[in-house]
Structure 1
Amino acid sequence: MGTLEEIIRDIRSTAQKCYLDTGAMSLMPKTVFEAVEDFHESRRRNGPSFAEYWKEVDTLRSRIAQLIGSAPEEIMFLQNTSMGINLAAKAVDLKVGDNVVVTNIEFPSNIYPWMNLESQGVEVRMIDISDGRLDEEKLAKICDEKTKVLSISWVQALNGMVTDLQMCSEFCQTHDIVFVVDAIQGLGVLPIDVKKVHIDFLVSGFFKWLLGPDGIAFVYINQEILGNLNNPFIGWAGMKNKFDYTTYKFDLLLEARRYETGNMNFSGIFGARQGVEIILEHQEEIGEKVQNLTQYLRDAVQKLDGAEVLSPAEGEMAGITLIGCRDSKQKYELLQKKGITVNYRNGIRVSLHFYNTTEDIDCFLGTIR
């Protein structure tokens, strides 16, 4: 696997831009790329090896469990975060008159699956966190006895706001509310233990801070609620004897993989495991490096005339910072022309991973001055 510095050198050796947009998609480590490439080369030459593929699925299942503090039986795979939120929306037994609470700055993945339930009489309520705060007082004001789900991003894609998961979890437990977390912008930078912070569903893709390929995601489903969930979609891979193709016995596992319908993005599975292995081996060092780089960026922006940090000043930091400045749209376009990759979200969004450097940040700052 190598030291973190060796991994950084490898990633940067092939980068052709000053890349500051991991919040959209990460640069890909060599081991991830080669795992995907090797899968397809082997299939091209030898045909499939399904026993090996499913073994790798279970290996990744165990690695994810190790990363988030769950049991492997609580992990299942599907194609992306949006589908994972859809699973939660359809699996929770919501009735006419029930309501679901989200925030007003969520990425749409965590909005439309819940809005889809409005035609069935489920209300969607939005907490206003434009001020960068989410506390128990705000939750108590918007939730009532008909609130059945709180669904929220761990780290907001818009501005990098980090949700206090412990506070939300305790509130949900007290009020018997299902707690759903979109973790894609936090996992790989911030540590989490889903048993210490009680979460019912945690969903994440791999192609951002976990360094993996796209087209594959996981869902953690707390074992305690599995027996109370609906089955919105079912396939042979969710049965107890999934490789028995001739005896039609409807015998679902009481595990998260009951929602795995069949063969999946196996090449993505192989690549995702390599990304997760890097995070597992270097998690503390990665988290510290991202925090230091983000602080360096924010401190420097505050010293610029005509620029400001729009991300919340209080609470934890992850890798995302939203920056406001004069003529921000024009400066964003100038950055693109200069080969400096950032994102535009009503301001310039910079998202830094461990492979970035202070020199990258200085290059960015020199362009927006």
Structure 2
Amino acid sequence: MPRPGEASSRNPCAAAARRTISSRRAGTETEVSQSDGELPEGLFPALEGLCYLNAAGEGPLPRRAAQALARATREKERPESLGRAQYFDLPAALRERIARLIGASTEEIALTGSTSTGIGIAARELPLPPGGEVLLLEGQFPANVLPWSAAKRRGAVVKSGPLRQGESPLQAVRNAAGPRTAVVAIDWVGFASGVKAEIEEIADLCRRLGAIFVLDGAQGVGALSIDVKAAGIDVLACPGHKWLLGPPGTGFLYVSKRWLDVIHPYNAGWMNLAEKQGFRNLLSIPKEPPADATRLEAGTPSYVLFSAWLESLDLLLSLGAARIERRLMALAETAREAASRAGLEVISPAGPPLRSQIVVATAGRRTPAVFRSLSASGVVTALREGAIRISPHIYNRESDLARLETAARQALKEES
């Protein structure tokens, strides 16, 4: 393994990686037109001919991300030139992009492999008084439920407050919280309901309760704009492979500076300590973990995956979070109207503040058959908890939703 900074200049892929990272730090990347309408052609060529409406399940790689993934794979095939650009510069660039996207500082960002990893760190490391309660809501995705068993082993009580279809998460938290509530951990957007939680108001409630606010951002970050500081979020965990258009095995954890000092060094972040010493003297690296959130990162960074994810994040940042949110909310409204006209019953919230970019519809007992028919016609949605989930992203056009309407109407006719 080369010492940091010793990567050979003979490898053109490694040289290109260094140039790409440094040029973006200087702000020289090409930006996409700032119109709120459809994106230029060619950014997602692999989707040609496919009506892909399942960003909530898997976000596709943009062409530039797929190309970066191929370049990074070639570097790994002949790894003698791997060094600082991959081990340190690339992860640092990712943390900077993520921090900019969510309104955090880079010191508060740790790179992980999934939402579950981030929630698991919170469940193991956040301070919990004996008998303190961790409040969840019914219907949350398992990544924000199962890891909290670690809190149980530390003496906490984990309970789920009731949340019926279309109800306000804020009201559900108010009803279920009490004097022993130490942590409130909820999903920003319901994976099966499309309900968007009122995060600012819930954060304010948590402050009044003296509770830590943990947010699963899997179905929000990359689609909806967020400022974690202004919103008052203490911990945010998110994957990279959905709305952030990265490869699977990517993700991040945001921990507010307020809580970084009290989180124990779960992974100790040895790689980021080695940056100061180099790999030739690992036995003499500092024994104390890094002061920032990199203490929560483990081992060698996934530089092959990160190379692709950086391209996707740069695309999203060039568009701007506010523009993306406006576009996706408009597409979601068009999807809602298309589904209704086709004869489906839309059960996700119709208006603010609970409406999100995810539309959920049902055809009663015919729902599975309609879903299969949509898939067979090249309209890709998702079947979740007995309903059809429709989740467009920046690559979708109004014509995709017209195709959804036509296919759904035909499917209902065949199943009548």
Into which bin does the TM-score normalised by the smaller protein fall?
Answer: over 0.9
Matched, 1:101 2:135: yes
Identify the residue that residue 404 of structure 2 maps to in structure 1: 364
Matched, 1:9 2:42: yes
Q: Secondary structure at the match of 1:47?
A: helix
2: CA distance between counterparts of 1:272 and 1:136? 33
2: CA distance between counterparts of 1:119 and 1:149? 15
1: CA distance between counterparts of 2:331 and 2:374? 19
Deviation at 1:135, TM superposition (A): 5.3
2: CA distance between counterparts of 1:185 and 1:351? 10
Distance 1:157 1:8, change over 3 A: farther
How many positions carry a matched residue from both structures? 368
Deviation at 1:350, TM superposition (A): 0.8
2: CA distance between counterparts of 1:251 and 1:231? 9
Question: Are the counterparts in 2 of residues 236 and 242 from structure 1 also a CA contact under 8 Å?
Answer: no
Question: Are the counterparts in 1 of residues 131 and 156 from structure 2 also a CA contact under 8 Å?
Answer: yes
Distance 1:95 1:166, change over 3 A: same
Give the aligned residue type for 1:161.
V
Question: Are the counterparts in 1 of residues 339 and 345 from structure 2 also a CA contact under 8 Å?
Answer: yes
Matched, 1:140 2:174: yes
Matched, 1:196 2:236: no
Match of 1:174 among 188, 208, 222: 208
Identify the residue that residue 352 of structure 2 maps to in structure 1: 315
TM-score (norm 1): 0.93
Structure 2: give runs of 5+ residues left out of the alignment: 1-29, 410-416
Deviation at 1:190, TM superposition (A): 1.0
Q: Give structure 1 regions of 4+ aligned residues with deviation exceeding 6 angstroms.
A: none
TM-score (norm 2): 0.83
Distance 1:167 1:19, change over 3 A: same
Matched, 1:289 2:340: no
Deviation at 1:50, TM superposition (A): 2.3
Q: Deviations over 1:275-298 (max 9, x none)?
A: 111111112332222111110111
Question: Are the counterparts in 2 of residues 78 and 264 from structure 1 also a CA contact under 8 Å?
Answer: no
Once the two structures are superposed, the pairs formed by residues 24-103 of structure 1 within 5 Å of their partners are: 24-53=57-86, 54-103=88-137
Question: Are the counterparts in 2 of residues 182 and 202 from structure 1 also a CA contact under 8 Å?
Answer: yes
1: CA distance between counterparts of 2:85 and 2:272? 18
Superposition RMSD in Å: 2.0
Q: Deviations over 1:297-321 (max 9, x none)?
A: 112333344x211112232443211
Q: Secondary structure at the match of 1:180?
A: strand
Match of 1:254 among 250, 270, 291: 291
Give the aligned residue type for 2:390.
V
Distance 1:8 1:91, change over 3 A: farther
Deviation at 1:26, TM superposition (A): 1.2
Deviation at 1:155, TM superposition (A): 1.2
Identify the residue that residue 344 of structure 1 maps to in structure 2: 383
Matched, 1:130 2:170: no
Distance 1:58 1:248, change over 3 A: closer
Question: Are the counterparts in 1 of residues 189 and 219 from structure 2 also a CA contact under 8 Å?
Answer: yes
Distance 1:135 1:185, change over 3 A: closer
Matched, 1:299 2:343: no
Structure 1: give runs of 5+ residues left out of the alignment: none
More divergent stretch after superposition (208-217 vs 311-320): 311-320
1: CA distance between counterparts of 2:41 and 2:137? 35
Q: Percent identity?
A: 26
2: CA distance between counterparts of 1:61 and 1:116? 27
Match of 1:332 among 336, 346, 371: 371
Question: Are the counterparts in 2 of residues 301 and 308 from structure 1 also a CA contact under 8 Å?
Answer: yes
1: CA distance between counterparts of 2:68 and 2:110? 21
2: CA distance between counterparts of 1:2 and 1:313? 33
Q: Which has the larger radius of gyration?
A: 2
Question: Are the counterparts in 2 of residues 68 and 193 from structure 1 also a CA contact under 8 Å?
Answer: yes
2: CA distance between counterparts of 1:11 and 1:248? 44
Identify the residue that residue 24 of structure 2 maps to in structure 1: none
1: CA distance between counterparts of 2:161 and 2:361? 23
